[in-house]
Amino acid sequence: MLDFRPHLGINQRGHLTLGGADLVELAEKYGTPLYVYDEQRIRQRYREFRDAFAGYGDVLVCYACKANTSLAVLSILRHEGAGADIVSEGELYLALKAGFQAEKIIFTGNNKSDRELERAVEAGVVINLDSLHELERLIEIVEAQKAEAKVSFRVNPEVSPETHPHLATGLRESKFGIHEELVLKAYERALSCSRLDVAGIHMHIGSQITKVEPYVEATRRLFDIMGRLRRELNLELEFADLGGGVGIRYSAEQPYITPAQLAEALLPVIEEKLAEHSLPRPRLLFEPGRYIVGDAGVLLARVYTIKATPYKKFIGCDAGFNLLLRPAMYGAYHEVVVANRAGEAPAEEVTVAGNLCESGDLLAKDRSLPRIEKGDVLAFLDAGAYGFVMASQYNSRPRCAEVLVNRGRAELIRYAEDFEDLAAKQLVPERLK
Ligand SMILES: Cc1ncc(COP(=O)(O)O)c(C=O)c1O
């Protein structure tokens, strides 16, 4: 557990620590369930990504906000100098609120509403277009508003990232991006509108990718398209955005790649393609989300019910897929640690169940864990990305609090919701009262 997660530790009391803070104490102080993030780990992972590509020169790492939109997390990355990759008007609102400069925000999304396009134009962020139809709608908007917009196009590079099918976004049949057959037409049309600054090209092939080859293949395609744009449209782009997707190690056995390995594989290919197509050096953008925040977060839950059936032993805790959806949605694996007895050897095989009325609400199946008792605190590791952001109030369970740890000191960054929040914004027609 600790070898590749240096931000975790076990203190003298045998308690699991994150960023130097005792997680059992945090569970007592703030109550469970609870999300906890380590600020220094987030900074370290961001820097690792940025530094891996520093040799290229002009690189901007745009944190993919969708992975974790807590304002404190966004603020950390804004302080680090990151840009932001956003996918909705809500993320635009949060990114601006966290202080990201509009020029460092790129708005991707495969199906933006007119209102989202209008807001993006008003805010002055880069708009990454996903279809010819979206382009036509944007042209109508900039003409009507007599405004300008900087745009890029998301290309569908038609490669398999060899990840979970729900996490593959650059397949030929995927809903994302513009296929090569159409992409020149899209750029030509965009160039015909003087209100658009046609600045970039983008791809994002998927998430939780653990091999460099799909990136290499897709990057070749992307730069070949840039070559065609130069030759056929005389267009030289300001930036090339290679997306996010670098996977993290949810378990010791799982294969993985590092940003340094990715840079080592990609940068020579990029140099080769720049020379082959006589292209000026574009700024390189990346959009990692999971890599930056994934292993910095844990979800804490307290054990209430121990239930031995003739077939399985279930450990019932006070969190379910309402708070951590990934196991139910993708069959994802999150390592579980009994935080108050973190060093203890496994003693039995159990399945950790959530508290929702759904048979799919199992957070960890058939795991070897120390003998668990009522009151134990379970830590679900690597829950910093696509954790809280996917939380819901299903079964009328208010969403939990979030805490940020910095060098051993913990601060609340989100209050837990209460029952009023379940009723907030709801209306009952007079006749039903
Ligand atoms: C366009 C885009 N960029 C970046 C990301 C971030 O991906 P990851 O968190 O796997 O790095 C996503 C997530 O799927 C995405 O859709």
- pTM greater than 0.85 (yes/no): yes
Per residue, the 3-state secondary structure of 167-195, as one string, reads HECCCCCCCCCECHHHHHHHHHHHHCCCC
Closest atom of ligand 1 to CA, residue 247: 10
- The CB of 387 under 6 Å from ligand 1? The reply is no
What is the spatial distance between Cα 231 and Cα 198, in angstroms, rounded to a whole number? 16
How many residues are present in the chain?
433
What is the spatial distance between Cα 101 and Cα 79, in angstroms, rounded to a whole number? 11
Alpha-carbon distances of 217 from 104, 237, 255, rounded to whole Å: 27, 20, 19
pLDDT, tens digit, for every residue of 237-277? 999 999 999 999 999 999 999 999 999 999 999 999 999 99
Query: What is the separation of C-alpha 99 from the centre of its chain, rounded to a whole number of angstroms?
Result: 19
- The CB of 85 under 6 Å from ligand 1? The reply is yes
Query: What is the separation of C-alpha 276 from the centre of its chain, rounded to a whole number of angstroms?
Result: 34
* Ligand 1 geometric centre to CA of 155 (Å): 14
Give 10-residue mean pLDDT values along the chain (433 residues): 92 98 98 98 98 97 98 98 98 98 95 97 98 97 98 88 67 78 95 98 95 96 97 98 98 96 98 98 98 98 97 97 97 98 96 97 98 98 98 98 98 98 98 96
- Nearest alpha carbon, ligand 1 atom 16: 204
Closest atom of ligand 1 to CA, residue 385: 9
- The CB of 289 under 6 Å from ligand 1? The reply is yes
In the chain, which segments carry CATH 2.40.37.10?
8-38+294-423
* Ligand 1 geometric centre to CA of 33 (Å): 27
Alpha-carbon distances of 221 from 40, 172, 243, rounded to whole Å: 36, 13, 14
* Ligand 1 geometric centre to CA of 291 (Å): 10
Q: Which of 207, 211, 286 to mutate to test ligand 1, by most ligand atoms within 8 A of the CB atom? A: 207
What is the spatial distance between Cα 55 and Cα 133, in angstroms, rounded to a whole number? 38
Q: Which of 154, 287, 290, 330 to mutate to test ligand 1, by most ligand atoms within 8 A of the CB atom? A: 287
- Nearest alpha carbon, ligand 1 atom 5: 244
Closest atom of ligand 1 to CA, residue 294: 9
What is the spatial distance between Cα 93 and Cα 122, in angstroms, rounded to a whole number? 12
pLDDT, tens digit, for every residue of 126-139? 999 999 999 999 99
What is the spatial distance between Cα 175 and Cα 205, in angstroms, rounded to a whole number? 12
What is the spatial distance between Cα 55 and Cα 104, in angstroms, rounded to a whole number? 21
* Ligand 1 geometric centre to CA of 294 (Å): 12
What is the spatial distance between Cα 52 and Cα 179, in angstroms, rounded to a whole number? 30
Query: What is the separation of C-alpha 231 from the centre of its chain, rounded to a whole number of angstroms?
Result: 36
- Domain 8-38+294-423's class? mainly beta
* Ligand 1 geometric centre to CA of 136 (Å): 25
pLDDT, tens digit, for every residue of 294-324? 999 999 999 999 999 999 999 999 999 999 9
- The CB of 154 under 6 Å from ligand 1? The reply is no
What residues form DSSP beta bridges with 298?
A: 36
Residue 433 CB partners (closer than 8 Å, separation 6+): none
Assign 3-state DSSP to the chain and report helix, strand, coil percentages, each to 5: 35, 25, 40
- The CB of 88 under 6 Å from ligand 1? The reply is no
Q: What confidence score (pLDDT) does residue 110 get?
A: 84
User: Options 1.10.1060.10, 3.40.50.10860, 3.20.20.10, 3.40.50.1000; which CATH number does 108-288 get?
Assistant: 3.20.20.10
Phi, psi of 157 (to 5 degrees): -80, 0
- The CB of 204 under 6 Å from ligand 1? The reply is yes
Instruction: Report which of 240, 230, 258 is spatially closest to residue 204, judged by C-alpha positions.
Output: 240
* Ligand 1 geometric centre to CA of 166 (Å): 12
What is the spatial distance between Cα 386 and Cα 382, in angstroms, rounded to a whole number? 10
Active centre residues (catalytic): 357
Report DSSP state, residue 392: -
What is the spatial distance between Cα 221 and Cα 26, in angstroms, rounded to a whole number? 48
What is the spatial distance between Cα 97 and Cα 105, in angstroms, rounded to a whole number? 12
- The CB of 64 under 6 Å from ligand 1? The reply is yes
The answer to whether 289 and 385 have CB atoms below 8 angstroms apart is yes
- The CB of 288 under 6 Å from ligand 1? The reply is yes
- The CB of 241 under 6 Å from ligand 1? The reply is no
C-alpha torsion angle, residues 367, 371, 377, 380 (rounded to 10):
-10
**In 196-219, which positions are buried (b, 16+ CB within 10 angstroms) versus exposed (e)?**
bebbbbbbbbbbbbbbbebbbbbb
What is the spatial distance between Cα 75 and Cα 344, in angstroms, rounded to a whole number? 37
Phi, psi of 206 (to 5 degrees): 155, -170
* Ligand 1 geometric centre to CA of 208 (Å): 9
Closest atom of ligand 1 to CA, residue 202: 1
What is the spatial distance between Cα 156 and Cα 129, in angstroms, rounded to a whole number? 12
- The CB of 108 under 6 Å from ligand 1? The reply is yes
In the chain, which segments carry CATH 3.20.20.10?
108-288
The answer to whether 161 and 167 have CB atoms below 8 angstroms apart is yes
- The CB of 106 under 6 Å from ligand 1? The reply is no
- Nearest alpha carbon, ligand 1 atom 13: 207
**Tokens 């393609």 identify what position?**
273
- The CB of 17 under 6 Å from ligand 1? The reply is no
The answer to whether 217 and 159 have CB atoms below 8 angstroms apart is yes
Q: What confidence score (pLDDT) does residue 167 get?
A: 65
What residues form DSSP beta bridges with 415?
A: none
What is the spatial distance between Cα 152 and Cα 136, in angstroms, rounded to a whole number? 14
Q: Which of 49, 61, 66 to mutate to test ligand 1, by most ligand atoms within 8 A of the CB atom? A: 66
What is the spatial distance between Cα 161 and Cα 140, in angstroms, rounded to a whole number? 35
